[in-house]
Amino acid sequence: MLMKLILTRHGETEENIAGILQGHMPGKLTINGEEQTKKLAQRLTAYEVDIIYSSDLDRATKTTKEIIKANPNPVVYFTKELRERYLGVYQGRHSDEVDWNNQPSDIETLQQMQNRIKNFLQKIYNKHKNKTILFVTHGAIGRSLITVILGKPADIIFEMEKIKNTAIYLFDIKDNLSGKVIINNCDKHLL
Report the amino acid identity of residue 179: G
> Is 97 noted as a catalytic residue in this protein?
no
> Is 10 noted as a catalytic residue in this protein?
yes
24, 84, 108, 138: which one is catalytic? 84
3-state secondary structure 155-188: HHHHHCCCCCCCCEEEEEECCCCCEEEEEEEECH
10, 24, 81, 138: which one is catalytic? 10
Enumerate the active-site residues. Answer: 10, 84
